[in-house]
Structure 1
Amino acid sequence: MQESTELLVTPKLFEQIVKAEGNLVGIETPNVDETIAQFRQLAIRSGQSVYLWDPENGIAALRESEMRVPGSKRFPDALRFILQSVQFGVYLLRDFEPHVRPPNTALLQRIARIRTDNERKLVFLAQKLALPQAIDALVERMNRAGDTATRPRLRDGRWVTA
């Protein structure tokens, strides 16, 4: 039996990530490895373009983990690849905390501003999300049920709850 505090990665949650207003999404989960495993199952079953970035492997497709993006181990290189990509994709980020600092924050802000049909979503996965204020204001947080958190945030100079 699964604890109620566990995150369940469902097609509904994936759809909410894709339909999120911004391109940066934050999800707190007590077990990041289990959440990634659930995203992997979703990617395999649905055929969705879901990728994982971590400092040891760089960007890798979750459906085929041996399929990696060369030269994407460094966080700024991974962000530049995502910025230049013309393909739709959901990119899960783990162990990102030490890398979310200038000049990488400027790249994250550029990704947050992308408005095209082939959206790229970055999903910060952590037990406890702690992001610099400039980035935190751009991150749409989702709770364990996949709903948008209602914590007020400053966006474009005004407070919003969605």
Structure 2
Amino acid sequence: MDCREGRSSYPSPCYIPSFQSELADLLKPISDNIQEIQNFREKNRGSKMFNHLSAVSESIPALGWVAVCQKPGPYVKEMTDAATFYTNRVLKDYKDTDKRHVDWVRSYLSIWTELQAYIKQHHTTGLVWSKTVSHGEIITPKNSRSVLSKL
């Protein structure tokens, strides 16, 4: 990855990972969970909830926005648009029969809308990694929970 280097003005006891392998290690747990969600969808193609599962499966990679070096907002929007294809099907199927599904669609899509707003406000051009750590400790996969719990 070719990310900008420097310091973030937002809370960040982080440093720039020596990117490829280290960032992959940091993101591995979420990546594994995303893959599990996508596999679950594939195993449940016959489900009445397949469009719901597809909406989640198609949009959940948006959680990887932290690895998008420039302008992660449009990346999240792209994932939201993929979900919208399936949520429109949910709305079509349930708009007159079960309001809970309509409410679910609105709530689910708002997750991604709110994430886009957060990114736009705080990380428009992507996360900014620091070459050095001047505040706090270096976050590694092994100590991330303990370091983050101190924030």
Scaled by the length of structure 1, the TM-score of the pair is 0.28
| Larger relative helix fraction | 2
Scaled by the length of structure 2, the TM-score of the pair is 0.29
Structure of greater Rg? 2
Whose RCO is larger (CA < 8 A, sep 6+)? 2
